[in-house]
Amino acid sequence: MLDVALHIGGWMLVAFAASPIIAALGMEVWEGAIKTHLVPAQEIERLAEEIFDHYSDEPEQAAFREEQYYRYRCDSFEQWKWHRVRREITRRLNKLDRDQACLPLPPSAT
């Protein structure tokens, strides 16, 4: 009987010691993966538009700076939100590049 009590006590000690780690991982998943996707797409598009307005020369770099700012401050929610903004900016830039590549050449170039 003492054998079983020691075995159960050992597993309870492991569970008690691991609970902060499991809680931290759970919070990181919630903040970074789940809660971030609850931000409306309109908010992401609005932030991307603001970045385009203020930093028209390098909008992707500006969004990356914001993402890094929150990464160094351990704010997972804001970091992943700005990651989504940066993806939106990249998508828009790629679309602009594709649209410009499809433009016909001016008559003087042919």
pLDDT of amino acid 81 = 93
**One-letter identity of residue 9:** G
How far is the C-alpha of 9 from the C-alpha of 17, rounded, in Å?
Answer: 12
pTM of the model: 0.70
C-alpha closest to that of 9 among 1, 89, 24 = 1
| Tens digit of each residue's pLDDT (9 = 90 or more) over 75-101 | 888 999 999 999 999 999 988 877 776
Cα distances (Å, whole numbers) of residue 78 to 22, 29, 36, 102, 103: 22, 13, 8, 36, 38
Contact 65, 25 (CB under 8 A): no
| Tens digit of each residue's pLDDT (9 = 90 or more) over 54-66 | 998 899 999 999 9
| Tens digit of each residue's pLDDT (9 = 90 or more) over 20-61 | 999 989 888 888 788 888 889 999 999 999 999 999 889 999
